[in-house]
Structure 1
Amino acid sequence: MKIILLGYMGSGKSTVGKLLAKQMGLEFIDLDDFIEEEEEQKIATIFKVKGEIYFRNKESEYLKKIIQQKKDLVIATGGGTPCYGDNLETLLKTTDHIFYLKVSLNGLVERLGKEKMQRPLIKDIPNGELPEFIGKHLFERSFFYNRATHIISSDGKTAEEIAMEIGKFLV
């Protein structure tokens, strides 16, 4: 069983994914962490040195590698993973369990505002411009996110509650 978690940065994919994997006795893979290990560089460095196109090509390559080699697992994708190349089509063809962890714009602004310095994509964006930046990304990505087989409204829920809600779909 492959369980895929999609959503914008800060939506809880990694946190929920770890909990869900533990709850179900499955392996957990954070795609961003996997890429950093394989490339032996932080994603921010890959973007800076080799560019986004290189990163997106590697992201697709590693996603396919994980899906083909691993059987039962939970995968937390990067926020942009389903929006590039044929990544979403690959996921839709290989699993029936794709969950979009949907957080409102206000919820994301609140969450990400607290952790801006750990998020290279937004660390230099003034707080007043964060809602517009995130809103633009959500608008651009919503087509892809909403094609998930399950949409989990995550506002006001703990990671444990979200993992339990996902678990109910898998029984």
Structure 2
Amino acid sequence: MKIILLGYMTSGKSLIGKKLAQTLDCEFIDLDEWIEKKEKLKISEIFKKRGEIYFRKLEHETLKTLVLDTKRNVISLGGGTPCYSNNLDLLINKSDLKTLYLKVSMTNLVDRLFKEKKNRPLVSHIKTKEELTEFVGKHLFERIPFYTQAEFTIDADRTENEIIESILFKLF
């Protein structure tokens, strides 16, 4: 079985994914990191040098390759991955895939993003928490219809251990 984690930026997909993979004794793959290694460029550099369309095509092809691979693993997607290139079609209603949406409250997302916005190209230009709240609100409005198509929704406004326990309960 493959476990796919989706959710907004800073929802904990990578952090939880690593711990979950360790708990299940399988490989963890962060889709963005996988692409960065393959391209030998940071995601922000790919966007700058080659554009978003190139990135989204690359993201789709990489996701398709990983999903078709028969290895058991945990994959964390980029925040926008489910929203482009019919990527959800690769993920939903597949018997060997379990999709989980890590749902985090708006307040927690904004707090987390504000602390690390310099590392997030989509929000690095935003100056205040109020502007960030408006940005995240608009983005979530667009993305939630995609995220909620995951097989399971996990309340990720809890401790790491509680989130892992909740995931394991849903899966097994």
Residue number in structure 2 paired with 1:120: 121
Could you state the TM-score of these two structures normalised by the residue count of structure 1?
Answer: 0.96
- State whether structure 2 residue 27 is matched by structure 1 residue 31: no
Instruction: Give the drift of 1:93.
Output: 4.0
Residue number in structure 2 paired with 1:143: 145
Tell me the amino acid that sits aligned with residue 126 of structure 1.
K
- State whether structure 2 residue 110 is matched by structure 1 residue 109: yes
**Would you say how many aligned residue pairs link Structure 1 and Structure 2?**
170
CA distance in 2, matches of 1:71, 1:140: 32
The CA RMSD over aligned residues, in Å, is 1.0
Tell me the amino acid that sits aligned with residue 169 of structure 1.
K
Q: Structure 1: which 5+ residue stretches go unaligned?
A: none
CA distance in 2, matches of 1:68, 1:61: 11
Instruction: Give the drift of 1:86.
Output: 1.3
CA distance in 2, matches of 1:164, 1:21: 13
Tell me the amino acid that sits aligned with residue 152 of structure 2.
H
Structure 1 segments, 4+ long, off by >4 Å, are none
Instruction: Give the drift of 1:70.
Output: 3.8
Instruction: Give the drift of 1:159.
Output: 1.9
| 1:44–1:70 CA distance, 2 compared to 1 (3 A) | farther
Residue number in structure 1 paired with 2:83: 83
Query: Percentage identity across aligned positions?
Result: 54
* SS state at 2:102 partner: strand
Residue number in structure 2 paired with 1:22: 22
Q: Structure 2: which 5+ residue stretches go unaligned?
A: none
Is this contact kept in 2: 1:20–1:164, CA < 8 A? no
* SS state at 2:71 partner: coil
Is this contact kept in 2: 1:7–1:13, CA < 8 A? yes
Is this contact kept in 2: 1:105–1:135, CA < 8 A? yes
- State whether structure 2 residue 50 is matched by structure 1 residue 71: no
Instruction: Pick which of 140-149 and 64-73 moved more.
Output: 64-73
* SS state at 1:151 partner: strand
